[in-house]
Structure 1
Amino acid sequence: MSIFCDLCFHHCRLEEGQTGFCRARANRDGRITCLNYGKLTALALDPIEKKPLRRFRPGSEVLSVGSFGCNLSCPFCQNARIAAAGEESRTRHCSPEMLVEEALRLCSRGNIGVAYTYNEPLVGYEYVRDCAALVRQAGMCNVLVTNGTISEEPWRELLPLIDAVNIDLKGFTENWYRVLGGDLETVKRSIALAAQRCHVEITTLIVPGENDSEDEIRALSGWLASVRADIPLHISRFFPCHCMKDRPPTPVETVYRLADVAREQLQYVYTGNC
C-alpha cells in the first residue's frame, strides 16, 4: 500500500519499503518512518556565531548535532557527504535523553543548549521534536539551522520549542529554487511564521551567475524587511564544491556590494567567508 509523506512540499508517494526524496523518511509497515532517528553523523561544541547567529546569545557555545538526509538537492552543498546520503551513512546512536545529558555536561564549557544542523535537520522531524522538548525541560535553548522547506502544520507545531533559527533563503526566484529542488513560497512562509515565534536570522549564499544580481538581492531584502526590518541577513560567499567545482568563488567585492544593497532596507546585514 502506498502512502504520502506530508512533512514537506514534495509529498513523496511511497510504496512499502520505499524511501523518499530526502533519503531519511520511508514507508515501513504502512507508515512513515524516520530512518535517521537518533543516528548522528556529527556532534561538536561550536560557537553560536558559526551557525551563523550574530544577535542571539553572542559569545556562547552550542552543542551541534547532525544526521543524514536533505529535502533539497543543491549542487553547491558543502555537506553533501551527509546531506546527500542515506542509511549507508556511518552514524552513532544518541537518544534524546543521551543528547540532553551531554548538553548538560557541557554547560561548564559555555554550552547553552542544542543546535540541529549540518544536514537538513527537519527531515528527522520526530527526533528534533523529541530532543527539543527535553532540552526545553532542562532549561536550555534549542537552535535550528534549516532550509525552511517544511509544511505549515509541522512547522507550527515545532516552533514553540525553538529559541533561535537560521533559515537559508537561497535566492529570490522560483527558477533558482526549482534548480535546487525546492519551493520559494514554502521557505517564505516558514520565515514569516518563525519571525512571529522566535529569534530569526537568514543566510543567502551568493552563487556567481545564479543569484548575484542587485535586483534580486533588493527584492529579497525588501521582502524580508516587510516581515521585520531587524531580521539579520548573512550574505555568504560561494566556493567551488560538490557538483559546482567548475565555478569560480564569488568575488569578495560582489559580496560587499550586495550587502550594501541589502542595507538599504535591513538594519543588520553581515558578510561571511570573506
Structure 2
Amino acid sequence: MKEAILYQIQDNQKVNCNICFQRCTIAEGKRGICGVRENHQGKLYALNYGQTVAAHIDPIEKKPLYHFLPGTKIYSLAAVGCNFRCAWCQNWQIAQSPKSHKKIEGTMMTPEEHVRMALAYDCPSIAYTYSEPTIFVEYALETMKLAKAKGLKNVWVTNGFMSKETLDEIIPCLDAANVDFKGPDDTVYEEYCGGQTEPVMENLKRLYEAGVHLEITTLVVPGVNDQEVQLEKIAQFISTELGQEVPWHVSRFFPVWKMTKTPVTPVETLKMAERIGNQAGLRYIHVGNI
C-alpha cells in the first residue's frame, strides 16, 4: 500500500482521485470504481502498489506490438484492477477481481526487482500490461524511471482512459503504447465498458503528438462494434487524426466472461475491417486471433 498520486482532499474527508477520467469522489473507507484505490482517514492509497499479480517474459508481438523492437522479448508485469468493466474482458480474473471482493491479490515485488529481472533475461523493454497500468500508475511510474535509467524501454498496454495529469507523469518515460480502441462512439463505451470515447481519442492524439510509438487494437465483437460504419469511423480516425503509418490490429473475439453466449467473430468480418483499413489508407493492418 502506498499513498496515491494525483488526488485532492475534499470536505468531510472525501477525496477526488484524478488518475483517470472516472475522477471518482471517494468517501472515507470506500474505494474507487477500480476497486484498488481507497480513502483511509482522508488520504488516498493505492492498495495494489507492489502487489505483482503477473510477471512473464513474452514476445513483444504478443502485446501486440509489431513495429517496435520486433523479434525481441519483453518483460511484462501487472497488478490487479481496472477502471473499466468490459463485458468481454480477456483478463477479468486479475482486472476485475478487486471489485467483487476486498482482497488485493499479488506477491510483493519492488520496482528494482522487476528491472533486475528484465535485465537478467535480456529483455530490452518492460510492459505494464494484462490489467490496466493506469490503475497501478504509482508502481508503474517508479519502475519506468528505474528502467529508463538502465537503458530499457517502457511500454503500456492500456485502454487509454487515463487523465491528462497521468499522461503528464508517464510520457517522459514512455516509449511505446498499444491502446485498445473499442469503438467510435459512446454507445460501446458506456454500455459495455463504463467509460466514454472522447477521452480515449484525445489521449491517442496526445500520445502520437508526443512521439510515443503507437499501435492500436480493436477487438471486433459481434453485435457490439462489428458494423461497417463503426469500423470505418475507427479507421478514418486513425488515418486522419493520427497517421496512416499507425498500425491497426483487428482482433477476433472469442466468448469469455460476461459474453459467453456471443459468437466468435466471423473471419469475413475481420476481412471487412482489413478492407476498410486499406481504403482509409492505413499502411499496417494486422488481423489477429485467427
Q: Is the partner of 1:249 in helix, strand or coil?
A: coil
Post-superposition offset of 1:153: 1.8
The residue type paired with residue 283 of structure 2 is: Q
1:23-172 paired onto structure 2 within 5 Å? 23-86=35-98, 88-107=103-122, 111-172=123-184
- In the other structure, the counterpart of 2:270 is 255
Which deviations, in whole Å up to 9, do the C-alpha atoms of 1:210-255 show, x marking residues without a partner? 1111111111111111121111000001110000001110001111
Does structure 2 retain, via aligned residues, the 8 Å contact 1:217–1:261? yes
The residue type paired with residue 50 of structure 1 is: K
Post-superposition offset of 1:89: 4.2
- In the other structure, the counterpart of 1:205 is 219
Unaligned runs of 5+ in 1: none
Query: How many positions carry a matched residue from both structures?
Result: 271
Q: Is the partner of 1:125 in helix, strand or coil?
A: helix
Q: Is the partner of 2:68 in helix, strand or coil?
A: coil
CA separation in 1, counterparts of 2:15 and 2:152? 37
CA separation in 2, counterparts of 1:63 and 1:172? 32
The residue type paired with residue 224 of structure 2 is: E
Establish whether residue 192 from structure 1 lines up as the match of residue 205 from structure 2.
yes
CA separation in 2, counterparts of 1:115 and 1:38? 15
Q: Is the partner of 1:263 in helix, strand or coil?
A: helix
After TM superposition, the runs of 4+ consecutive aligned structure 1 residues lying more than 6 A away are none
- In the other structure, the counterpart of 1:220 is 234
How much is the aligned-residue C-alpha RMSD, in angstroms? 1.0
Does structure 1 retain, via aligned residues, the 8 Å contact 2:20–2:166? no
Q: Is the partner of 1:195 in helix, strand or coil?
A: helix
TM-score by length of 1: 0.97
CA separation in 2, counterparts of 1:50 and 1:187? 22
Alignment match of 2:195 (pick from 158, 161, 182):
182
Which deviations, in whole Å up to 9, do the C-alpha atoms of 1:159-216 show, x marking residues without a partner? 1201110000011111111011011001001111111221000000001011111111
Post-superposition offset of 1:156: 2.3
- In the other structure, the counterpart of 1:236 is 251
CA separation in 1, counterparts of 2:177 and 2:38? 26
The residue type paired with residue 237 of structure 2 is: W
Q: Is the partner of 1:182 in helix, strand or coil?
A: coil
Post-superposition offset of 1:30: 1.4
Which deviations, in whole Å up to 9, do the C-alpha atoms of 1:30-82 show, x marking residues without a partner? 12211111111111000000000000010000000011000000001110000
CA separation in 1, counterparts of 2:166 and 2:86? 23
Post-superposition offset of 1:127: 0.9
Does structure 1 retain, via aligned residues, the 8 Å contact 2:57–2:74? yes
CA separation in 1, counterparts of 2:250 and 2:119? 33
- In the other structure, the counterpart of 1:270 is 286
Post-superposition offset of 1:90: 3.1
Q: Is the partner of 1:153 in helix, strand or coil?
A: helix
- In the other structure, the counterpart of 2:22 is 10
CA separation in 2, counterparts of 1:41 and 1:20? 20
CA separation in 1, counterparts of 2:69 and 2:178? 14
Does structure 2 retain, via aligned residues, the 8 Å contact 1:156–1:193? no
Post-superposition offset of 1:157: 2.2
